[in-house]
Amino acid sequence: MTSRQLRTVGVLTAAAALCATASTAHAAQDTGRPAPRIVTAWADAWNGTDPRALGALFTADGTYTDEAVAVTFRGRKEISGWKARADSLIDNVHVTVRTTRVEGHRVTVRAVYSGHLKGAPKPFAVPMTTVLDLDRNRCRITSDKDHYSLATVLSQSGLPADWAPPVG
């Protein structure tokens, strides 16, 4: 096996282990209780450097929607590509989970999304709400919808409101 294949197996094995131990509480949760494992894994994937770690948390047909920039990605490969694109545009991209609320197969995450857009004079740190819909076993994400203010990201970064990332 090549080193790339071994890394891929490692990412998928970690996601499978998450499913095997995903018997987190199914009742509503708020601050003061630990975040469900899937939320911790999701934040760790955003804070990590392997884009496939994020994609591996989703079902094969899962979707990831970034409402601020009006894009949706379908499937693990596209979702991994979105993380890779974010990493290419934002230095030190980071998600800090503040609270979670679990209701059935839906988890609402309140977090701080931060980083430094490459070429921007200043970093940003904005509130974000993410809604994660989970599969019936509550161990994989079927849908992710991120909500944050792009205008605030650009303002904090010292960029004009009409700024657009470079193509490519």
Which pLDDT value is given to residue 25?
38
Domain that holds residue 143: 3-157
Query: Which phi and psi (to 5°) does residue 110 adopt?
Result: -105, 130
Total domains in the fold of the chain: 1
Kindly report, residue by residue over 44-101, the tens digit of the pLDDT: 999 999 999 999 999 999 999 999 999 999 999 999 999 999 999 999 999 999 999 9
Is there a domain that residue 48 lies in?
Answer: yes
Which pLDDT value is given to residue 8?
47
Positive or negative torsion for Cα 16, 37, 130, 133:
positive
Is there a domain that residue 168 lies in?
Answer: no
Q: Give the rounded distance of the alpha carbon of 165 from its chain centre.
A: 19
pTM exceeds 0.75 for this model: yes
Is there a domain that residue 166 lies in?
Answer: no
Confidence grade of residue 112 (pLDDT, cut at 50, 70, 90): very high
Mapped onto helix, strand or coil, the DSSP state of residue 115 is: strand
CATH number at residue 132: 3.10.450.50
What is the H or E stretch that residue 70 is in?
Answer: none
